[in-house]
Amino acid sequence: MTKFTDLSLDPKVLKAIEETGYETPTPIQAGAIPPALEGKDVLGIAQTGTGKTASFTLPMITMLGRGRARARMPRSLVLAPTRELAAQVAENFDIYAKHTRLTKALLIGGVSFGEQDKLIDKGVDVLIATPGRLLDHFERGKLLLTGVQVMVVDEADRMLDMGFIPDIERIFQLTPFTRQTLFFSATMAPEIERITNTFLHAPVKVEVARQATTSETITQGLVQFTPSRRDRTASEKRTMLREMIKREGEDCTNAIIFCNRKVDVDIVAKSLKKHGLNAEPIHGDLDQSHRTRTLDGFRDGSIRFLVASDVAARGLDIPNVSHVFNFDVPSHSEDYVHRIGRTGRAGRKGTALMIAVPADGKLLDAIENLVKQEIPRLDPPELPKTERRSRRGDRKDREEAPRAKTEDAAETPADTAPEKSAEKGGGRRSRSRSRRGESSNGSQVVGMGDHVPDFILRSFAETKAH
């Protein structure tokens, strides 16, 4: 079995790895680190949660051990799709480079330009950034990319989903042609393949799992139900979510709950808190300090449920997540793989459950076609008695409503206005009868409600008579 000591890493890096307690590399690490240390381009394809971050962090630290950074000219560049993932890479760098003198800078939104400019002006060995913020610094003349020796693109498929591909192509063109490129993705969409063919030079392809596969350590399940009414779908899904959490019991120590829309993230989190569950939302509209506090609380256990959008939670490495709940079926089938990959990490057991309604049929088909397996169907948990009463009450109300209107119409007194008055104000008389559910010849109009047009109440016999 391969060990980290067999991978020709810097002794200072090996010491840091030993202090973290790791001895054996994951398959993606064992496959990607040797060619990276040889200076070759690497195309790594692996499902989320397999240790991709260390696959490029460890060789990068080793290769940068010799040399010195120059002002405004970073020696290496790591691109990540989200602030949280960029911050996570920075944390990995701090852990594995702590016995070296290498420096880093983190360029993400929500942090002042001034502080970031100071770090870049001093010169950094490793620059970790989101594409948008990196180009902002470049366009302000605060950054040069001509000294980049190693460039890493992490979570490339998420870059595609978020519309960053034009930015990535531009950044590639700003870096030297002689750079080494390490490119990592969980899936290989055609657009991603085009970029690798354009910007990578004879890459070593390391694929440790079939594209878009889900980890065998994750127990999957799907709960399907039909809402009582379309306008009650969201509220009944929230009830279903709470009952699923209750059914998991003590096994559900913590969980990430995914929603497709940011507005639903807030609503679901508020609903859970209202019912006594410790939950907080995280999505792109929250400021960076708020997002950081929320993630820290989830990591240290002070927050049990993290309600998240895909953008906020993509690529997060939180080792001990027991459950993932898909409140919504993901709109993009690849997101299912990434969502459930938040649990069952590093060989641990995990559970991923999803709620679906009849309208989700096509999305479910796309997911099952992608992962090449059927998600096991589970019986829906029994709804609380109050919820069942409410649904029966709604149905009873709908059944009794037409009957009540009919009875009201039958009890309406006949029009007793004098005939002379009717001749003078025929239009008023007709409208009066319409309001009382009567035709112009005195017969009852049953079941038409209170808004019957005058022309419907006129008989043909009357028309001929006039």
Judge contact between 9 and 31, C-beta under 8 A.
no
The pLDDT value given to residue 48: 65
For the sheet with 76-79, list strands across it: 104-107, 126-129, 76-79, 150-153, 180-185, 42-45, 204-207
The pLDDT value given to residue 284: 77
Is residue 287 situated within a structural domain?
A: yes
- Whether the model clears a pTM of 0.85, i.e. scores above it, the answer is no
Instruction: Tell me the mean pLDDT in the region 168-195.
Output: 92
Minimum mean pLDDT among 76-80, 291-295, 386-390: which range? 386-390
Domain count, the chain: 3
> CB burial class (10 A; 0-12, 13-18, 19+) of residue 136?
middle
Q: Do 178 and 231 reside in the same domain of the chain?
A: no
Residue whose C-alpha is closest to residue 96's, from 59, 149, 122: 59
For residue 216, pLDDT beyond 90: no
* Higher per-residue pLDDT: 412 or 17: 17
Q: Do 54 and 150 reside in the same domain of the chain?
A: yes
Is residue 213 situated within a structural domain?
A: no
d(CA 22, CA 14): 10
Q: What is the pLDDT of residues 341-376, one digit of tens each?
A: 888 876 789 999 999 999 999 999 999 998 889 999
| Total residue count of the chain as it appears in this document | 466
Which domain-ending residue is among 177, 207, 237?
A: 207
Q: Do 194 and 224 reside in the same domain of the chain?
A: no
The pLDDT value given to residue 51: 82
The pLDDT value given to residue 456: 67
Q: Do 378 and 432 reside in the same domain of the chain?
A: no
The pLDDT value given to residue 413: 43
Is residue 132 situated within a structural domain?
A: yes
Q: Do 411 and 297 reside in the same domain of the chain?
A: no
Range of the domain at 161: 4-207
For residue 64, pLDDT beyond 60: yes
Q: Do 77 and 93 reside in the same domain of the chain?
A: yes
CATH code: domain of residue 168: 3.40.50.300
For residue 199, pLDDT beyond 90: yes
Instruction: Tell me the mean pLDDT in the region 141-160.
Output: 92
Q: Do 370 and 412 reside in the same domain of the chain?
A: no
Minimum mean pLDDT among 259-263, 389-393, 402-406: which range? 402-406
* CA distances (Å), origin 198, targets 7, 38, 183, 188, 204: 29, 21, 12, 14, 15
For residue 47, pLDDT beyond 80: no
Q: Do 454 and 361 reside in the same domain of the chain?
A: no
pLDDT, mean over the chain: 83
Cα 362 from chain centre = 18
Which domain-ending residue is among 143, 174, 207?
A: 207
Judge contact between 316 and 295, C-beta under 8 A.
yes
